Amino acid sequence: MAPTKDVSVQQENKSVGIIGMGDMGKMYARRIAKAGWRVNACDRADKFESMKQEFANTENIKIFANGHLVSRLSDYIIYCVEAELIDDVVAVYGPSTKLGAIVGGQTSCKAPEIAAFEKHLPKDVEIVSCHSLHGPNVDPSGQPLVLIKHRSSDASFQLVERILACFGSKFVYLNAEEHDQITADTQAVTHAAFLSMGTAWAAGDQFPWEVTKWNSGIENIKINITLRIYSNKWHVYAGLAILNPAAQRQIRQYACSVTELFKLILEGKRDEFETRVRAAGNFVFGKQKDELLLRDEILDQFSLSGVPKSERKPNSHLSLLGMVDCWWKCNIVPYDHMICSTPLFRLRLGATEYLFRQPDLLDDCIRFALDDDSFRSDDLEFTFAARGWSDAVSFGDFNSYRKRFEKPQEYFAPRFAEATKLGNEMIKTILGRMKILEDSREAAKT
């Protein structure tokens, strides 16, 4: 029989440690173990027995009582804990790291993670960090996986590459600072926009799929993504926004863009509003010639409502106008950030592109924003919400972020099961199509 990949991996006689066996840690452990590497893993001590049971029959995974035991044994140790806890957890287990091992982390913001490693790890330990730019239930193949060679030899870095190759992801090589700059946009502002939509709908006591005016192709994206975010754990979003200074700046600009555009609407300053929206659009989309990322017939498959197309109305789309204005004011061309794109970022870019690159739609939207007041109160709620999220992030208070998150979460909870199912299908279909487009663009370049 031909030697399998598993055999060559075992021959390296290296083991991987995972500290923090939540959603991402388990996903990492399972995939790395399946590729044949020995995995030593732990979560908090009080979960030791239940974890042991859960992984009793999983080949190559051994559960330990704590991170000291994992650290002492493993050659590449990955911290998969909450971002806000990284300093505390590395302070405890870091000094137990095996002599000459490599350490990395999976948290979504790298400045505090690298600072914790530099502070608490012994000097002989190398540092190679990583970040999978997708959630635990998304197929990692073809998705970006950032690798950060912070303090390591080439040989150690190549070992990490061989270990993480089992995801089939696209490696993206960045330093920690570049990572945080780009993900501030691709992740933190993306979440801020959809979190604000959810807060506004909940504050206005609207299940958007039950209200006719929220029914059109891109509304389906807004609703499905918003519900997808609220059905998740608050700490993931809090960590990557609060701990990343670039994210705080960009989220503040998003709130400011939304507020300024809304004031122009209220004051009826048509020319100023239109000039600003078009200038932002030209900056972001002016050079784009490729086919649109999103198409009606695909978007329409993913409605939570079933309202016929003929009954749909235009929308002022303040949330999308604000995104493009924010990119313009931050001097960001989002297409340059595709290397660190998450599925949600691609959908956000697809939705704004859909509006700005179809001249009739943008004309309708500008006219509607100024002449029709049926979205005014929704836009008011949205503006409050965007500023509230920006404040929550700037104040840096995890607890108030959590409270802010949990209110809409409770409001939308009854629809999570259905929305997640539809959202997963939507993401699969739309991203499948986007990938074909992106591949053909790449092929055209070469």
Ligand X SMILES: O=C(O)C(=O)Cc1ccc(O)cc1
Ligand Y SMILES: NC(=O)C1=CN([C@@H]2O[C@H](COP(=O)(O)OP(=O)(O)OC[C@H]3O[C@@H](n4cnc5c(N)ncnc54)[C@H](OP(=O)(O)O)[C@@H]3O)[C@@H](O)[C@H]2O)C=CC1
**Backbone φ and ψ of 64, nearest 5°:** -115, 165
Asked whether the beta carbons of 313 and 213 are under 8 A apart, the reply is yes
Answer yes or no whether residue 240 interacts with ligand X by CB under 6 A: yes
Give dist(CA 367, CA 363) in Å, integer. Answer: 6
- Residue 24 interface partner, choices ligand X, ligand Y, none, CB cut-off 5-8 Å depending on type: ligand Y
Give dist(CA 318, CA 19) in Å, integer. Answer: 42
Chain position whose Cβ is nearest to ligand Y: 22
Q: How far is the CB of 242 from ligand X (least distance, A)?
A: 13
Exactly one of 236, 385, 419, 430 binds ligand X (CB under 6 A); which one?
A: 236
Burial class (CB in 10 A: 0-12, 13-18, 19+), 50: exposed
Exactly one of 22, 122, 135, 204 binds ligand X (CB under 6 A); which one?
A: 135
Nearer to ligand X among residue 101 and residue 145 (C-beta): 145
Asked whether the beta carbons of 83 and 107 are under 8 A apart, the reply is yes
Question: How many Cβ atoms sit within 10 Å of the Cβ of residue 319?
Answer: 25
3-state secondary structure of 358: coil
Give dist(CA 294, CA 328) in Å, integer. Answer: 22
Answer yes or no whether residue 204 interacts with ligand Y by CB under 6 A: no
Q: How far is the CB of 378 from ligand X (least distance, A)?
A: 24
Nearer to ligand Y among residue 15 and residue 215 (C-beta): 15
Nearer to ligand X among residue 36 and residue 343 (C-beta): 343
**Distance, CA of 234 to chain centre:** 12
Rg (CA), the chain: 23
Nearer to ligand X among residue 9 and residue 116 (C-beta): 116
The DSSP H or E segment spanning 242 is helix 234-242
Q: How far is the CB of 77 from ligand Y (least distance, A)?
A: 12
Answer yes or no whether residue 164 interacts with ligand Y by CB under 6 A: no
Binding mask 15-44 for ligand X (x = CB under 6 A): ------------------------------
Question: How many Cβ atoms sit within 10 Å of the Cβ of residue 28?
Answer: 27
3-state secondary structure of 42: strand
Q: Which of residues 6-65 bind ligand Y (CB under 6 A)?
A: 19-25, 42-44
Q: Name every residue whose Cβ is closer than 8 Å to that of residue 335 and which is 6 or more positions away in sequence.
A: 288, 349
- Ranges of H-type helices in 330-375: 343-356, 359-371
Binding mask 78-117 for ligand Y (x = CB under 6 A): --xxxx-x---x----------------xxx---------
Give dist(CA 216, CA 398) in Å, integer. Answer: 35
- Residue 187 interface partner, choices ligand X, ligand Y, none, CB cut-off 5-8 Å depending on type: ligand X
- Residue 316 interface partner, choices ligand Y, ligand X, none, CB cut-off 5-8 Å depending on type: none
Q: Which of residues 186-215 bind ligand X (CB under 6 A)?
A: 187, 190
Region near ligand X per CB under 6 A, out of 26-34, 90-98, 337-345, 353-361: 337-345
Region near ligand Y per CB under 6 A, out of 77-85, 168-176, 288-296, 350-358: 77-85
Give dist(CA 269, CA 264) in Å, integer. Answer: 5
Residue 16 pairs with which residues in a beta bridge? 39, 76
Q: How far is the CB of 248 from ligand X (least distance, A)?
A: 16
Answer yes or no whether residue 184 interacts with ligand X by CB under 6 A: no
Helices and strands (DSSP H and E) totals, the chain: 20, 8
- Residue 204 interface partner, choices ligand X, ligand Y, none, CB cut-off 5-8 Å depending on type: none
- Residue 343 interface partner, choices ligand X, ligand Y, none, CB cut-off 5-8 Å depending on type: ligand X
Asked whether the beta carbons of 146 and 121 are under 8 A apart, the reply is no
Site residues (vs ligand X, CB under 6 A): 108, 133-135, 187, 190, 236, 240, 342-344
Site residues (vs ligand Y, CB under 6 A): 19-25, 42-44, 67, 80-83, 85, 89, 106-108, 132, 135-136, 233, 236, 239-240
